[in-house]
Amino acid sequence: MMHAAIQWPDVSDACYWPMAVDYAVYQYNHGPKLVTTTAPIDLLLKTMVPQHQLHNLHVWGSPAYVLDPKLQDGQKIPKWSPCLRQGVFLICCLSTL
């Protein structure tokens, strides 16, 4: 949050702190630990979450680029119009057990 406030002061806001903390808790619970090499959620649920899902974890508040929806659908856009827009990666993880 501090880095986002310094780099992008016009987009960062203090109301995002609860989402940032929630995402940090999500990462802690779903990331493998050094000693046991299993995630705390795996120990709690006695299951094994596929490790390829860890590739979906990103740095919270980092810049994200979103492709134009027309290009996502396979359509064409005019040559000089922008094909993507810049945003900020914000996610709120609502953990349900």
Dump pLDDT digits (tens) for 46-87: 888 777 667 777 777 777 787 778 777 888 877 777 777 777
Dump pLDDT digits (tens) for 2-46: 777 787 777 777 888 888 888 888 888 888 888 878 888 888 888
Domain residue spans of the chain: 2-88
- The overall pTM is greater than 0.95: no
**Per residue, what are the HEC states of the chain?**
CHHHHHHCCCCCCHHHHHHHHHHHHHHHHHCCCCCCCCCHHHHHHCCCCCHHHHHHCCCCCCEEEEECHHHHCCCCCCCCCCCEEEEECCCCCCCCC
